[in-house]
Amino acid sequence: MHTARERLVTLLDERDVTVHDSWGPGRCLAELFEVTCEESLWNPIFVTDFPVEVSPLARRHQHDPDLTERFESYAAGRELSNGFSELNDPVDQRSRFEEQARLAAAGDDEAMSIDEDYIKALEWGLPPTAGLGIGVDRLSMLIADESNIREVIAFPTLKPLRD
């Protein structure tokens, strides 16, 4: 019998996705979603309840501790926004930052570092908050039919040089 991670790795291998040894089942599932579903989400839709592993700042889901209260909106095969209920438990946040630091040390380019100031703010009583990320850049991507955000940003120093 295969574990959930082993099955997800097999599905990713079949799609020529390189799986890093440090990825758990949550990250594997998120990667599989990206390569199999994102481009097919043409009509506006919200995808909800992301794995904890790929949502280090989001509060755990009320009914499933492996998921978070996070959403992304999609249209025309592109992610338009990302939002979540922010985690306000300093103990859980430290644990997640430490896991992110472990992933970064293992070579994960997307992993976060430990933010001691943020943890201290949580310890002092940062009130519950929520986040939503949507901007003109993502809407410009939709209008310009661009899949790479660097093609529509206003700051050319962030864009790669072309021959």
Q: How far, in Å, CA of 54 to CA of 117, rounded?
A: 21
CA 23 to chain centre: 13
Q: What is the pLDDT of residue 136?
A: 79
Helix (H, G, I), strand (E, B) or coil at 12: helix
What percentage of the chain reaches a pLDDT higher than 90?
54
Q: Which of 115, 47, 36 is nearest to 84 (CA)?
A: 47
Q: What is the pLDDT of residue 80?
A: 87
Structure tokens at 103: 């992933």
Residue bearing tokens 């896991």: 99
Helices marked H in the chain:
4-14, 25-36, 90-105, 116-124, 136-144
Structure tokens at 53: 């592993």
| Contact criterion met (CB below 8 Å) for 126 and 88 | yes
- List, for residues 115-159, the tens digit of each pLDDT value: 999 999 999 988 777 666 667 777 888 888 887 777 887 665 555
- List, for residues 17-29, the tens digit of each pLDDT value: 999 988 999 999 9
Query: Model-level pTM?
Result: 0.76
Q: What is the pLDDT of residue 155?
A: 64
Helix (H, G, I), strand (E, B) or coil at 120: helix
Strand partners, 47: 72
pLDDT tier, 98 (very low <50, low <70, confident <90, very high otherwise): very high
Q: Which of 50, 54, 57, 52 is nearest to 71 (CA)?
A: 50
- In this predicted structure, the answer to whether residue 96 has a pLDDT above a threshold of 60 is yes
Q: How far, in Å, CA of 163 to CA of 156, rounded?
A: 15
